[in-house]
Every structure is written in C-alpha cells, then in structure tokens.
Amino acid sequence: MTTTREECAALDAADPLAPFRAEFVLPEGLIYLDGNSLGVLPARTPERVRQVVEQEWGQQLIRSWNEAGWFAKPHTLGARVAPLLGAAAGQVVVCDTTSVNLFKVLAAALGLRPGRSTVLAERAAFPTDLYIAEGVSALAGGGARTELLDSADQLADRLGPDTAVVLLSLVDYRTGELLDLPAITRQVQAAGALMVWDVCHAVGALPIELDANGVDFAVGCTYKYLNSGPGSPAFLYVAERHLAAAEQPLSGWFGHAKPFDFEPGYRPVDGIGRFLTSSPSLLGQAALESSLEIWEQVDLAEVRAKSLALTELFIELVDPLAKYGVEVVTPRERARRGSQVALRHPDGYPVVQALIARGVVGDFRAPDLMRFGFTPLYLSYTEVWDAARQLAEVLESEEWREEQFGRRGEVT
C-alpha cells in the first residue's frame, strides 16, 4: 500500500514542526530539496542583518566591537551552536570556513600524536577535506601522509601504531549514509589515534553527541541545515581535555593571549580561543545569530523523527521508479541514514535539470547521483509526495531527453 497525498496532508496536520515553516522564506511554487547544500532564508534574517549594518556598523561604528559584543561573537555564537553538537560550552567557536577550521584541527591533532604520521580518511569524502588533509600532511613534516580508505569498514584493518588521526564525515555528502559515531570514535581511540568528525551534513539534521562520545575534534558549516546563508561562518569543536596542549598553526592575533598588547611574539590564549585566527565576518555572524534564534526553539529529537519519516516516505514513493533505471543509494536502515536521499540514474544530470524546470529543486553529483535533501523545519509531507510525483512524470514522459536539459557529465 503506497502512501496517498491525503495521508500526507493528515501527517502535515499532525506535524509538531509545521509551525516553523512560517519562519522561512520559501519562493512560491518551489519545492526545495536542496537545503542540505544551501538552507533557505529565515524570514527574520534580513532585519537582523539590516540592524547590524545600519545600527551597529552605521551608527555605533568602532564602538560596536565592545558595545555590540563583536569581539566576543566567535565565543558567544560558539556557545549557542554547542547544544546542537551535544557539547558543553567552552569547546566550540564560530569562525572561518569548514576547510580552514579543518586545517587547524587536523594540524593540532597531528601535533598531539608525535611519532605517528598517518591521517586516515575516506576516499569518498567531500574533496576539500582530502585536499586539506593532504596540505596539512605535507606541512607537518616527519613524513606525515594521508591514506585513503574505501570505506570506514576498513578501519579495523588499517588502524595501526602509525595512525595519528582519522577524519570522517558523519553523513556522506553524496549517499547520505550516516556513520556510527560512538562505535567509530571508540575504535579509533582504542588504537591510540584521535578522531575528527566533519558534521557539515549532520548538524541541524539530527542530534549529535560529541561530549557523550568523547569525540576529540569536529568541524562543520552553518549554511546548510542551520540556514545562515551562503558562506556563513563555520564552527569547530575541540574537546576540553585537549585544549591545554593543542596548538594550531594559523596563529593570528585573535588567538593571542593579549591581542591588544600588540606583542611581537605569538602566545596562544588559554582555552578554545586559541583556535581563532582573525577578525570575524560580522554580517555572516549576524545571519547565524538570527537563525540560531529559531534553532533554540527546536527539539532535535522531533527534527530527527520527521527527517526519518520524510526520507522514508520519499524512498517508498520512488522505489517503483526502478522500472526507469532509478536505484536508491541511501541506506534504508534508519540508523544509517542522514537527512537526504540519493538516487542513482545514468542520466541523473538531465533528469535533475528537468525536475528543476518543474519547480522541484534537488541537485546532481557526478557521476550519476541525484541528491534530495529533506529539511524538517520547512518541508511538508505533501511536498515530498508532490516531488516524487513530479520525478515519476519526468521519467515517464522522458522530457529529460530535451536538448535544454543538457547531457550527462555536465557540471552543475
């Protein structure tokens, strides 16, 4: 028995998260299934950004560094992101980008494991993570190198006395697979290595328990499920027990013990502040501040429950599309699934383009994956039903073959 549109409407009527939809700007007639790449605009954000521009910058000018709390923002925002990560305060700062933060924590982690020189990472990781790991390994000296795993399942064979750090994404950006954070963290630490999680595709999509699982380091972005806008500042987490000894190489003045003493030598401040480098981007932070006001009202258990229900519904509705060559790549087991569904199709690129032309926005990742992100705060069950129907129509009509939708292999 397939779920009907009427049943979806009933699920929407009973949805405890439904009121949050009014918090977001959703373009008329669009079903947005790409919030796993760029989250939508919160309705309250333009006003908050305007206030920072016109009031804090325009009127208060330089006084805002103190009076509007600009200096402290990396910390105050870090403390507000921390609950989304299952982290006590004092271990999270908001700053820079995911790539830059990854550079800092990987270098710090390598420094905490002298005598060990291997970084293990998944071959299928989001490429910037691998590029950064390569860069850090090259700079670390001592023959440090990054080695790639075909999957995290290989850890049992590959962890060894030379493994310094393991870097993994909690949710895979392509397949949407969710890894077992508690078990993997334990396994890595049992081998004497340190665990770094990239939580870009997990934060705001499901509860994350960094402290409870003794994670060493984590990094992530705020422009996906957290809705803070393109290029909004990222965050990093360093477990309290590492803060005294951890050293990061981007030793800019914001990480200095006394930045306004303008000393010639670098002296890192105690605590998580040593992972800061330079002046924060206040406008991006204003947007994050605004979206966090929404997140502070959200129960992450409800988000996870709805996320699983939405992805399950979509999988159920697209399963019959196997007759058009569609294969569900995302794990069906709840415990192994993040908040997106990836479908394999040899002509995934033009199919996604045809779907976008119909007002259903997903995306495509080479070589053949169509990705659909499910954001519980602003997506309804009915929209998921409608999106699956539109996909079925695109495949049935073969309209994706039209010239305008391009061909496989084109870049999005």
Ligand X SMILES: Cc1ncc(COP(=O)(O)O)c(C=O)c1O
Ligand Y SMILES: Nc1c(O)cccc1C(=O)C[C@H](N)C(=O)O
Cα 345 from Cα 252, distance rounded (Å): 47
Element (H, E) at 24: strand 24-25
Q: Which of residues 107-136 bind ligand X (CB under 6 A)?
A: 126, 128-129
Per-residue tokens: 104:
């800092």
Question: 15, 34, 198, 347: which is the annotated catalytic residue?
Answer: 198
* Annotated catalytic residue 224: yes
- Cβ 104 vs Cβ 236: under 8 Å: yes
- Please report whether residue 221 would count as binding ligand X according to CB under 6 A: yes
The response to whether 216 counts as a known ligand-binding position is no
Q: Is 350 annotated as a binding residue?
A: no
Cross-strand partners of 370: 343, 364
The yes or no reply on residue 375 touching ligand Y (CB under 6 A) is no
Nearest C-alpha neighbor of 337 from the set 299, 368, 309, 301: 309
Strands (E) located in 248-336:
327-328
Per-residue binding string, ligand X, 52-91, x by CB under 6 A, is ----------------------------------------
Is 127 annotated as belonging to a binding site? yes
Which residue, 271 or 331, is less far from ligand Y as judged by CB?
331
**Smallest gap, in angstroms, from Cβ of residue 266 to ligand X?**
24
> Does 65 count as an annotated binding residue?
no
The radius of gyration of the chain from alpha carbons, rounded to an integer in Å, stands at 22
**Contact between residue 123 and residue 116 where contact means Cβ atoms under 8 Å apart:** no
- Single out the residue of 24, 31, 33, 37 in contact with ligand Y (rule: CB under 6 A): 37
Question: Is the bond preceding residue 264 a cis peptide, omega within 30 degrees?
Answer: no
**Annotation marks residue 223 as catalytic:** yes
E-assigned strands of 292-405? 327-328, 340-344, 360-361, 363-365, 369-373
Q: Could you give the string, one character per residue 167-206, with x where binding to ligand Y holds by CB under 6 A and - elsewhere? A: ------x---------------------------------
State how far Cα 39 lies from the chain centre: 11
Say if residue 198 carries a ligand binding annotation.
yes
Tell me the two tokens of residue 259: 């930045």
What distance in Å separates the CA atoms of residue 412 and residue 406, rounded to the nearest whole number? 10
Q: How far is the CB of 233 from ligand Y (least distance, A)?
A: 13
Give the Cβ contact number of residue 122 at 10 Å. 21
Would residue 126 show up in a list of annotated catalytic residues for this protein?
yes
378 is in an annotated binding site: no
Task: Pick the closer one to ligand X by CB: 275 or 405.
Answer: 275
Minimum distance of ligand X from residue 190's CB (angstroms): 25
Q: In the complex, what is the shortest distance from the CB of residue 397 to ligand Y, in angstroms, rounded to a whole number?
A: 28
- Residues making contact with ligand Y (CB under 6 A): 37, 126, 173
- Residues making contact with ligand X (CB under 6 A): 97-99, 126, 128-129, 169, 173, 198, 200-201, 221, 234
Binding-site residues for pyridoxal 5'-phosphate, in ranges, read 98-99, 126-129, 198, 201, 223, 253
